[in-house]
Amino acid sequence: MTPTRRRVVLVAATVIASAAVVVGATAGNASPVHHTKTVVDPGPSAAATIDAAGCPISVRCTTSATPSTQLRAALLRAFPAARVVAGAHTVQRDRPDVVYQATVVGTLEGGAVVSATAQCAPGGAAVVEQTVRSANTSLDLAGNTVVHARLLSEIVPGAAGCSVHVFLDSRGVGTSWDTAAIALAHDPAAQVAPR
């Protein structure tokens, strides 16, 4: 290969590599991901009476990395096509039927995720029912609103100090799962109520 031909090949390779870097950087910035977090003050905290696993500090508890049967069943009633991917529950050590906190996470079609957490802090403050909806949006080049993600948070009180919190994270503008998420939060079988 002649020195001139070698230079031409080297220049061409450099131009191609530079173009690839520019295209990659542009594609990476074309649709930035924005995380929106809505913070709601639920009122007085029960943190002084419960530990991080949801167990009253005066009770010895065990936490299992599996969803409670009761909350898993409630999720699947509301979302029959959901795939349960995670969960946990905290029970009284010497009475495993006494559940203080349970969590289940399921995935839905299209990448949506639903989670439900039921918790009861005996003697805790009453929980206020709340529904919070938010969306992550942007404008396209034509000025149209594009919805990237929708969030729904539904908190439903049970007995004093008890509640179910359902969180739904879905992509795009569809609201097909909102009704099911609200039904899950209001399902009495989703509540935990230690005796």
pLDDT in tens, the chain (195 residues): 666 666 655 555 555 655 555 445 444 444 444 445 555 555 545 445 778 878 888 888 888 888 889 999 999 999 999 999 999 888 888 888 888 889 999 999 888 899 999 998 877 788 889 988 888 888 889 988 888 788 889 999 998 888 999 999 888 766 678 889 999 999 999 998 766
- Tell me the C-alpha distance between 147 and 160, whole Å: 38
The one-letter code for the residue type at 166 is V
Do 11 and 43 lie in one domain? The reply is no
- Tell me the C-alpha distance between 13 and 15, whole Å: 6
Q: What is the pLDDT of residue 154?
A: 93
Q: What is the pLDDT of residue 121?
A: 82
Do 86 and 149 lie in one domain? The reply is yes
Domain assignment of residue 61, yes or no:
yes
Q: What is the pLDDT of residue 171?
A: 81
- 151 neighbors 134 (Cβ within 8 angstroms): yes
Do 24 and 71 lie in one domain? The reply is no
Helix ranges (H only) for 110-186 are 178-186
Domain assignment of residue 195, yes or no:
no
The one-letter code for the residue type at 7 is R
Do 16 and 88 lie in one domain? The reply is no
Distances (CA, A) of 74 to 68, 103, 117, 119: 10, 11, 11, 15
Q: What is the pLDDT of residue 80?
A: 94
Do 24 and 78 lie in one domain? The reply is no
- 112 neighbors 150 (Cβ within 8 angstroms): no
Total domains, the chain = 2
**CA atoms 51, 186, 116, 95: torsion sign:** positive
| pTM of the predicted model over 0.95 | no
Q: What is the pLDDT of residue 51?
A: 81
Do 24 and 76 lie in one domain? The reply is no
Do 81 and 153 lie in one domain? The reply is yes
Do 136 and 91 lie in one domain? The reply is yes
Q: What is the pLDDT of residue 32?
A: 47
Q: What is the pLDDT of residue 14?
A: 58
Do 23 and 119 lie in one domain? The reply is no
CA 62 to centroid of chain Cα atoms: 24
Q: What residue numbers bound the domain in which 12 lies? A: 1-30
Do 78 and 155 lie in one domain? The reply is yes
Query: Residue 13: is it exposed, middle or buried by C-beta count within 10 angstroms (0-12/13-18/19+)?
Result: exposed
Domain assignment of residue 8, yes or no:
yes
